Amino acid sequence: MFKKLIATVALVGFAVGAAGTASAEKAYKLKLGHTGAPNHHYQDICTMFAKQVKDLTKGGVEIAVFPADQLGKQVESVEGTMMGTHDMVLTSDTVLSNWVPDMGILNLPFIFSSMDDARTILDGPIGAKLAAKMESHGAVVIGWWDNGMRHITNSKRPIVAPADLKGIKIRVPEGEVFVETFKALGAGPTVISFGELYSALQLGTVDGQENPPAHILTQKFYEVQKFVSRTGHIHLSSPLIMNKKLLDGMPKEYREAILKTAREMGPVHTKMVDDLEKKQWEEIAAKGMKINDVDKKPFQQAVLPVYEKFKSKLDGKIIDDIVATLKK
């Protein structure tokens, strides 16, 4: 009897140990969506991220990448990621501002003069502070990636000074800061989802839009827009978010591999975007668009009321900290 009991205990112990091993080695097959076209740099950086995670986890975590809103438009995908119906999505800070208003601080006009400025802030304590605000909504910002500086295109005339925007209907993404910025510049801002933007430009629902050169090219906006003015008015970061419950439930080594890789891809993505843009402007010119640069000072002066408005609505200390950090 005693021998039978020992054998039973040993068998149970082996089963528990085997179950624990199986759990630790469970394979995860995740889906990562983004809004960029298949030839956009979002697809490139997401593919690099997926490969690195697979290598680090020895195939334990496989990530399939879905471009062009195949898993749903950005707001839907973010909501799904928070709820757990989506695994992860590469989105934008302005979309996240629907749930975390302080994300809108990153979109304040001319707060960043370059992608390097944005990188300095996002990779430091301010980026960590903003990222932490997402966790109560069920998602984790696992990496701050990039989408570059935004510039204005339209079908009417070159935008050289803020006065040139008067009477022009400009599509803007979700985010109150974008709306107020273009009101301050004298334009008529209209919120339209990115997936519907080309047809809105084609049909004349709006006269123009503002985006980095990668979107101008990959979305073929040059087919329905004649002028592009390099204003660099707003930087748009691309936070990679993941469902918190999913991440927390993974084995430690998988979780660490995902977080490490997502962080490391931030500077890689910024360099990728910067390198690509030099070629992209040449391609845009070759497509027939008229490109002009602007004196930014009148634009910066025109948007000062936006700062006054949002200093009371958003965390004024974060705004001051960003300005102070970039002055050093």
Residue 26: which pLDDT band, with cuts at 50, 70 and 90? confident
User: In degrees, to the nearest 5, what angle opens at C-alpha 55 toward C-alphas 50 and 56?
Assistant: 100
Query: What integer is the mean pLDDT of 277-282?
Result: 95
pLDDT of amino acid 328 = 82
For residue 12, count other CB atoms closer than 10 A to its CB.
Answer: 10
For residue 78, count other CB atoms closer than 10 A to its CB.
Answer: 25
pTM score: 0.89
pLDDT digits (tens, 9 = 90+) for 175-207: 999 999 999 999 999 999 999 999 999 999 999
Task: Inform me whether the pLDDT recorded for 13 exceeds 70.
Answer: no
pLDDT of amino acid 4 = 44
Rg (CA), the chain: 23
pLDDT digits (tens, 9 = 90+) for 283-296: 999 999 999 999 99
The tokens of 36 are what? Answer: 């960029």
Tell me which residue has tokens 């004349």: 204
pLDDT of amino acid 229 = 98
pLDDT digits (tens, 9 = 90+) for 129-187: 999 999 999 999 999 999 999 999 999 999 999 999 999 999 999 899 999 999 999 99
Nearest to 44 by CA among 90, 100, 76: 90
pLDDT of amino acid 25 = 62
pLDDT digits (tens, 9 = 90+) for 32-90: 999 999 999 999 999 999 999 999 999 999 999 999 999 999 999 999 999 999 999 99
pLDDT digits (tens, 9 = 90+) for 225-248: 999 999 999 999 999 999 999 999
